[in-house]
Structure 1
Amino acid sequence: MGETAKYTDKMSVRHILIVISGIMITFGCSALVFSTWSAFQAVVPEQLGVDTATWALYITVLYLAEAFSAPFIGKLLAKTDIRIVLSVSALLVGLGFILISIVKTLWIFYVAGLMMGLGEVGLLWLAVPTLCNKWFNKNSGTIIGACMAFTGIGGAIWLQVFNALNASGMDIWTIYMIWGIAALVTSLPFTLLCIRSTPEECGCLPYGAPQTASGKPAGLDAGKAMKSVAFYAVFLLAGIINLLTIVAQQFPKYTKSLDDGTGTMLAVGVTMATVMMASQAICKLALGVCADKNSKVSFLAACATGIIGVLLVWFGTGSTMVLYAGAAVYGFFFASCVVLVPILVRQLFGQREYPEIYSRVSMFVNIVGAIGAPFWALFGKNYPMLFTVAIILLVVVLLLGIFCFGKMKGLQEQWTE
C-alpha cells in the first residue's frame, strides 16, 4: 500500500503540461503546415512559374510520407521515449520550411513535403490521441478536442499574419523562414521538457477512474480489429473525411475566380479560410465535449453542417457574408477529421492496442490526403462539379458512419483486457 500511495488519478501539473504540449504542437507545427498552405497556393505557383497542380504535388508527397510512415511511427510511439520521437518530428517540420526559404525552387517543396510528412504523422495524427488516451481515463474526447482546436486557432492567427506580411510587401521566401522559426519555437520546448510517454513515469495515474476493475485498458487486439468489417468502414470514412477537409483549401482560389478586377476577392477567400479555421477551433472543442456524451449525435451534426456549408459557399457568391457563413458552418465538419475519427476508433475497438489500430487508419487517411490537393485542383474552375462531388462524398461519409455506429455494441461485447 505504501508503494502505491504516491500515485494519484487526480488532475496534476503533469496532466496539465500534457494538455499544454498538445495545444502548442497543434498551434505551431500542425497549423503552419495544414492550415496556411491555401494562402501560399494563391501566390507561390506564379512566382515559381508553374501551374497550381504541379506545385500542389508537394502536399501529395507530404501526405504519402505520413501514410507510409504511420505504422512505423505508431510502433515507435508505443516503444520509444515519446520525447525523442516528437522532438525529431518538430525539427523535420521547422527545417522543411527553412529549406524552402533558402533554396526557392520547385523541387525543394517536394523534399520539404517529405520532411514535413514524416514529422506531422507523429505530431498531429498520433501524438495527441495517444497521449490523451494514456493520460486521461475521463474526458479524453474533450481533451483531444481542446488540443486539436488549436490547429484552427493557429490557422486563423497564422493566416492573418500571412495577410499582414504579404500586404506589407514582404518577400514570400522570408515568410517561409518565419514559419520555420515559429514551428521550432512553439514545439521543441514542450516536446523536450513537458511530455512523458505515460503518467506512471511521473508518479501519476491517468486522470479519472479506470474503465476496468483491474485498471488495464480494454479493447480488441489489433489483428482481430483489422479483420472486422467495421474497421474497413471507419478506414474509408476517415479517408473521405480528410479528402473533404482539403476541398476547403480551394476557397481562396474559388473566390479569386469571381474577382471583378479589383483584386478584393482573393482577400475574401483568405478571410473565408480564416473564418473556417476559427470556426473549426470552436467546433473541435464542442465536438470533443459532445462526443464524450453522445458521439453518434455529434457525427450526424457534423455531416449535416458539412452539406449546408458547401451549399452556402456554392450559392452564396452574391454576398461576402453568406460566403463567410458557409465557411464557418463547414468548419464544424472540418473539425471531425482529427476529433471524431480518433474517438470513433476508440469507441469501436477500445484502448488495448489503440496506437497500432489508429496508426493504420491514419495511414489511409493520409493516402487519401495525398491525392486530395491534385484531385480538387483537377476540377480547375468547374466549381459546380467540384461542389457536387463534395456533397456526394459527404453523403457517403454519413452512410459509413451510420454503419459503424450500428456495429459498435457488438464489437464492444468482444473487448478483453
Structure 2
Amino acid sequence: MSQTSSKNAVNVKKSGGFHYAYMIVVACCAISLAPVAFTFSCAGIFFKPVTQELGIGIGTFALYLSSLLLAATLTLTVAGKIINKYSARLVLSASVLITAGAFAAMSTFTSVYQFYVAGAFLGVSTAFLLYLMIPTMINRWFKTRVGFFMGLCSAFTGVGGILFNPLGGYIIANYGWRNAYLAFAVLTIVIALPFALFVIKSYPADKGLRPFGDTGEDEQKGAAPQVTGVSYSKAVKSGAFYTGLVFSFGMAFITNINFYLPAYAGSLGMSITLGATVASASMFGTMAGKILLGWVNDRSVVGGMLFGLGCGIVGLGLMAFFAKVGVWVVLIAAALYGISYAGVSVQTPLTIKTIFGNREYAPIYSNIAMAASLSSMIGSAAWGFIIDSTKSYPMTFGIGIAIAALTIVAGYVAMQLGKKLDFTTK
C-alpha cells in the first residue's frame, strides 16, 4: 500500500482538543516497552541458564547479538524506503510478529547455531522497531516538542528492562529459561501487537489531521502544507551525510563501555551486588537522559549534543580519576555516563533531522543508523580488547573521553555542512 496519497493530502482539518498524535506516542511506548526491551534490556538474564544447559561459553552464545546487529545493519539499507513506501501499521505489525516468533522459536532450541539464525530475524525487526519507529513516527506526527516525545518513547526500553528483568528472572528460576522465552513471545503479542495493528497510523492526514503543533499557516495563506528537507539523492552525496555517519558511529561506540561497568566496579573491590547497582545507576541515567536530551534538543540541538556527550565525558572522567573518593562518586559518574548512552536513540535522530529536514527523513536516517548498528556490533567486543591490552580502566575511560570529544566535533561539523544544503519540497 503506497503512502503517496497520505503524504500529499491537503484537505486536512485543524486539530483541536485531544490530538491523535498522543496515541502514536502511547503506541511507540508500548512497542518499546515489550519487544524492544525484551530483545536488548532483558537479553542478559538468559546468558547463564542457556549456556549451562547447552554446555557452551557465554561469548559463544552472545554471538547471536552480533548476528542480530549485522542483520539490522543490512536491513537498514532498505528499511527507510520500506517504511516510507508501505503502511507503517503493517510494517511495524510484521516486525512485532517476527520478534514474537523468534522468541517462541528460541524456547525450543538445542543448538547455539539456531540462536544465530534467530538473532538474524530479530535483527530484521530491530531495524524497524528500535532504529526507525520512534524517529519516523514522532517526526511525522509532531511539529513541536519532537525531542521531548522522542525521548519519552525511547525511555520505555529502560522501563521494560526494570519491569521484565525481575519477571523473566522469576520465570527462569521457577519454570526454566525456555518458558521465559515463551512468556516473552506471548507478552510481545499481547502488549505490542494491538498498538501496532490498531493504533499506528502512517501520517496525520490518515486521520484528517495536521501534525501536532502545526498551526496551519500555509493553508491560511492558500498554500498546501509543505514538508521540506534535502532529497535522499542529494543527501547521500553530501559531506554532511558522511560526517553524520562518523557522528552516529562515535555516539554508539562510546555507549558500549556500559557492558563493562560491573567488571570495572569489581576491579575497585566492590561486591557483585554493588557492581550491579553501578549498572543500574547507568540505566537510570539513560532513562532520565532520554527525556532530558529530548527537552534540551527542543531548545537547541547543539546544546543537546554538548549536554549529552558532555555528561558522558564528565562521568568517564570521574570514574577514571576520582573513583577512590567513594562509592557515591562512582554511582553519580555512572548515572552521568548513562545520559550520554541515551544519545544514540535521541541525539542522533534529532541531529540528522536538523541537518536534512523531514522531506526524506526515513531513508536518510535509516542509512545513518547503519553506522550506529555497525558500531554497536564492533564496540561490544572492542572495548573488551582495549581493557585487556591497556590493563587499565582509567586509560580505557580516557580513550572514551577522546572519542566523545571527537564525536562532538563530528556532529558540529555535520550541522555546519548541513547549513549549505538546500531544503526543498517534492
TM-score, scaled relative to structure 2: 0.87
Q: How does 1:253-292 map onto structure 2 within 5 Å?
A: 253-255=263-265, 264-265=271-272, 267-292=273-298
Matched, 1:337 2:344: yes
* Identical-pair percentage: 29
State the 1:211 CA deviation.
8.9
User: Contact 1:155/1:274 (CA < 8 Å) preserved in 2?
Assistant: no
State the 1:170 CA deviation.
5.3
State the 1:370 CA deviation.
2.0
State the 1:367 CA deviation.
1.7
**d(CA) in 2 for partners of 1:305, 1:104:** 43
Matched, 1:55 2:61: yes
User: Contact 2:45/2:165 (CA < 8 Å) preserved in 1?
Assistant: yes
Matched, 1:175 2:180: yes
User: Contact 1:83/1:192 (CA < 8 Å) preserved in 2?
Assistant: yes
Other-structure match for 2:417 = 407
**d(CA) in 2 for partners of 1:105, 1:349:** 45
Question: How big is each residue's C-alpha offset from its partner over 1:79-98, in whole Å with a ceiling of 9 and x where there is no partner?
Answer: 11111111111112222222
Matched, 1:397 2:402: no
User: Contact 1:125/1:362 (CA < 8 Å) preserved in 2?
Assistant: yes
Q: What amino acid sits opposite 1:69 in the alignment?
A: T
Matched, 1:208 2:213: yes
- Number of aligned residue pairs: 408
**d(CA) in 2 for partners of 1:163, 1:254:** 24
**d(CA) in 2 for partners of 1:173, 1:142:** 38
**d(CA) in 1 for partners of 2:17, 2:258:** 37
Q: What amino acid sits opposite 2:210 in the alignment?
A: L
Q: What amino acid sits opposite 1:175 in the alignment?
A: A
Q: Please give the secondary structure, in 2, of the residue aligned with 1:410.
A: coil
Other-structure match for 1:296 = 302
TM-score, scaled relative to structure 1: 0.89
Question: How big is each residue's C-alpha offset from its partner over 1:239-280, in whole Å with a ceiling of 9 and x where there is no partner?
Answer: 2211222221222344456667xxx41x33333333322321
Other-structure match for 2:6 = none
**d(CA) in 2 for partners of 1:244, 1:163:** 28
- In the alignment, which of 113, 134, 141 is matched to residue 107 of structure 1? 113
State the 1:234 CA deviation.
1.1
Other-structure match for 1:232 = 242
State the 1:288 CA deviation.
0.9
**d(CA) in 1 for partners of 2:11, 2:76:** 38
State the 1:151 CA deviation.
1.5
Matched, 1:374 2:374: no
**d(CA) in 2 for partners of 1:336, 1:42:** 30
Contiguous gaps of at least 5 residues in structure 1: none
Deviates more, 1:134-143 or 1:381-390: 381-390
Matched, 1:18 2:42: no
Deviates more, 1:361-370 or 1:45-54: 45-54
**d(CA) in 2 for partners of 1:155, 1:161:** 10
1:307 to 1:57, Cα distance in 2 relative to 1, 3 A: same
**d(CA) in 2 for partners of 1:52, 1:149:** 28
Matched, 1:223 2:236: no
Q: What amino acid sits opposite 1:179 in the alignment?
A: F
- In the alignment, which of 362, 365, 372 is matched to residue 358 of structure 1? 365
Other-structure match for 2:4 = none
Question: How big is each residue's C-alpha offset from its partner over 1:160-213, in whole Å with a ceiling of 9 and x where there is no partner?
Answer: 4455556x5653333333333222222101001101111111222211226983
**d(CA) in 2 for partners of 1:40, 1:321:** 30
State the 1:297 CA deviation.
1.1
Q: What amino acid sits opposite 1:361 in the alignment?
A: I
Other-structure match for 2:81 = 75
State the 1:145 CA deviation.
1.2
**d(CA) in 1 for partners of 2:396, 2:44:** 17
**d(CA) in 2 for partners of 1:173, 1:255:** 31
Deviates more, 1:181-190 or 1:354-363: 181-190
Contiguous gaps of at least 5 residues in structure 2: 1-8, 219-223
Question: How big is each residue's C-alpha offset from its partner over 1:370-403, in whole Å with a ceiling of 9 and x where there is no partner?
Answer: 2222323434654525433322321221221222
User: Contact 1:53/1:377 (CA < 8 Å) preserved in 2?
Assistant: no
1:257 to 1:177, Cα distance in 2 relative to 1, 3 A: farther
**d(CA) in 2 for partners of 1:184, 1:239:** 32
User: Contact 2:79/2:363 (CA < 8 Å) preserved in 1?
Assistant: no
Other-structure match for 1:120 = 126
User: Contact 2:230/2:360 (CA < 8 Å) preserved in 1?
Assistant: yes
User: Contact 1:348/1:408 (CA < 8 Å) preserved in 2?
Assistant: yes
**d(CA) in 1 for partners of 2:380, 2:202:** 34
Q: What amino acid sits opposite 1:301 in the alignment?
A: F
Other-structure match for 1:328 = 335
**d(CA) in 1 for partners of 2:50, 2:215:** 51
User: Contact 1:218/1:351 (CA < 8 Å) preserved in 2?
Assistant: yes
1:220 to 1:309, Cα distance in 2 relative to 1, 3 A: same
**d(CA) in 1 for partners of 2:216, 2:245:** 26
User: Contact 2:96/2:192 (CA < 8 Å) preserved in 1?
Assistant: yes
**d(CA) in 2 for partners of 1:333, 1:376:** 17
1:324 to 1:80, Cα distance in 2 relative to 1, 3 A: same
Q: What amino acid sits opposite 2:358 in the alignment?
A: Q
1:6 to 1:65, Cα distance in 2 relative to 1, 3 A: closer
Other-structure match for 1:416 = 424
1:365 to 1:6, Cα distance in 2 relative to 1, 3 A: closer
